[in-house]
């Protein structure tokens, strides 16, 4: 039998975004810097995922930090830590907690895409020899890491998993759901290097017992990123074969 998760996400859904509509427009964010640190995951992988999802093999942890130089709400940087998983056969990253350094941007990302972001000090500092990142919440560092020894590659060498974001949605009553957010990326520049995490407080990311064990890869890119219309959602407590719901899309005129 395929492995599935055991976590009841409704126990942590009280702080998740509440969406009253799933009909949102695309949002293009130009010239974003995007850091990804990819690690093998230590801890009970099934206990971090709901029954609708399969754990990845090997279990993985994805740290992503995106720095946007300008937008309709100004510049902002946000960080997520996701658990690698599969929805059916498709690789995904489960997001139950993240942080953003702009209250205005966090509000937009919460209300339109269901990204569960709280406000914190989020830093991303790319330089010639390395790219460093940190997240500080109420004076406590909950994440610190870096990409070291960057080497140029092409954007075709970089892949990002779609996110499954924990959110509450009001339709016929309130539901706890996972919203699929799969941005489009146009690459301007890409580098790879070695991943190094020096601080990771799992509880601050709603991932009790998780740890980052062995580094897999690290990449730093400059991209035009377009956040999409919502197309799919997942009912986290259902059987994986019955969990996915396709959302209606506008028809061409």
**Which domains, ranges and CATH numbers included, belong to the chain?**
9-243 (2.40.400.10)
Mean pLDDT, to the nearest integer, of 8-30? Answer: 96
Is the pLDDT at 111 greater than 80? The verdict is: yes
- Residue appearing with tokens 């759901």: 177
Rounded distance between C-alpha atoms, residue 251 and residue 235, angstroms = 25
> Does residue 66 carry a pLDDT above 90?
yes
Q: Give φ, ψ of 204 to 5 degrees.
A: -65, -15
pLDDT score for 52 = 98
Write down the pLDDT at residue 249: 84
Q: Which residues are 182's β-sheet partners?
A: none
Q: Is the pLDDT score of 177 beyond 90?
A: yes
Retrieve residue 181's tokens: 């957010």
Question: What is the H or E stretch that residue 82 is in?
Answer: strand 76-87
pTM, full prediction: 0.96
Question: Per-residue pLDDT for 91 more than 70?
Answer: yes
Mean pLDDT of 228-241: 97
Burial call 172-204: b when 16+ CB within 10 Å, e when fewer: eeeebbbbbbbbebebeebbbbebbbeebebeb
Task: Report the mean per-residue pLDDT for the chain.
Answer: 97
Check: CB of residue 220 under 8 Å from CB of residue 182. no
Average pLDDT over residues 129-142: 98
Strands (E), 88-183: 90-95, 98-100, 117-119, 121-126, 130-137, 140-153, 162-171, 173-181
Q: What is the pLDDT of residue 250?
A: 78
* Per-residue tokens: 165: 């974001």
**E strand or H helix that includes residue 212:** strand 211-227
Whether the predicted pLDDT of 252 surpasses 80: no
CA–CA separation, 8 and 6 (whole Å): 7
Q: How many residues does the chain have?
A: 253
**Strand, helix or coil for residue 114:** coil
Structural tokens at position 239: 């059987």
């Amino acid at each position: 039998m395929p492995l599935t998760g055991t976590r009841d996400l409704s126990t942590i859904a009280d702080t998740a975004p509440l969406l009253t509509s799933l009909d949102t427009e695309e949002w293009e964010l130009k010239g974003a810097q995007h850091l990804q640190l990819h690690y093998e995951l230590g801890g009970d992988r099934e206990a971090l995922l709901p029954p609708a999802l399969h754990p990845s093999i090997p279990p993985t942890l994805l740290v992503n930090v995106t720095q946007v130089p300008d937008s309709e709400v100004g510049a902002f940087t946000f960080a997520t830590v996701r658990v690698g998983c599969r929805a059916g056969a498709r690789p995904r990253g489960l997001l139950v907690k993240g942080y953003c350094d702009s209250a205005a941007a966090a509000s937009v990302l919460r209300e339109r895409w269901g990204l569960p972001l709280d406000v914190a000090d989020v830093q991303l500092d790319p330089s010639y020899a390395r790219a460093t990142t940190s997240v500080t919440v109420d004076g406590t560092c909950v994440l610190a890491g870096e990409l070291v020894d960057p080497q140029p590659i092409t954007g075709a060498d970089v892949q990002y998993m779609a996110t499954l974001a924990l959110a509450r949605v009001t339709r016929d009553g309130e539901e706890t759901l996972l919203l699929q957010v799969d941005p489009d990326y146009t690459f301007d520049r890409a580098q790879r290097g070695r991943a190094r995490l020096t601080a990771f407080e799992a509880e601050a990311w709603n991932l009790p017992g998780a740890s980052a064990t062995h580094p897999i890869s690290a990449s730093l890119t400059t991209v035009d990123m377009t956040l999409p219309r919502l197309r799919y959602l997942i009912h986290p407590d259902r059987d994986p074969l019955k969990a996915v719901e396709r959302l209606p899309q506008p028809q061409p005129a």
